Amino acid sequence: MSTALTSTGVTYPDGTTQTNGRGTKSLLTTLTASNSSALQYTGFSSSYNNYELVISNLIPVTNGVNAQMQYYIGGGYGAAASSYYAAGFSTYGPVIQFATTYHYIGGSGTYFQLSYPGYMTNTSSKGLSGTLWFWNANSAFYKQLTGVMAGETYSAGYSERTCMGTTYVGSTAVLGGFQVYMSSGNISSGTIKVYGWN
Partner 1 sequence: MATVMNNTGIYYPDSNYHTTAYGNRQYITEAVFSNSASVGLYTSDSYANYEAVFSNVVAATNATTFQCLLDFNAAWQSGNYYYNAWHGLWSNNSGNQYGGQHNYIPLCYPGYFLSTASSGLSGYFRIYNCRTTTQVKNYEWMTTGYTWTTGGGGEHEGGGYYNDASNNGLAKMDGMLFYPATGNFLSGKITLYGWN
Q: Would you tell me which residues interact with partner 1 (CB under 8 A)?
A: 1-3, 5, 10, 12-14, 16-25, 49-50, 84-89, 104-108, 133, 135-136, 139, 141-142, 144-146, 148, 163-167, 169, 172, 197-198
Among 31, 50, 54, which residue's Cα sits nearest to residue 144?
Answer: 50
- Concatenate the DSSP letters of all residues of 13-69 into one string: TTS-EE--STT--EEEEEEEEEEES-EEE----TT-SEEEEEEEEEEESSSSB-EEE
The rounded distance, in Å, linking the Cα atoms of 15 and 39 is 41
| Count of CB atoms situated within 10 Å of the CB of 132 | 21
> In this complex, which beta carbon is closest to partner 1, that of residue 118 or of residue 185?
118
Q: Minimum CB separation from partner 1 for residue 73, in Å? A: 14
Closer Cβ to partner 1, 17 or 155, answer by number: 17
Identify the H or E element spanning 198. none
Nearer to partner 1, 2 or 125 (CB): 2
Residue 159 Cβ vs partner 1, minimum distance, rounded to whole Å: 18
CB contact at 8 A, 39 and 188: no
Q: Which is nearer to partner 1, 89 or 158 (CB)?
A: 89
Least Å distance, CB 98 to partner 1, is: 9
Q: Least distance (Å) from partner 1 to the CB of residue 197?
A: 8
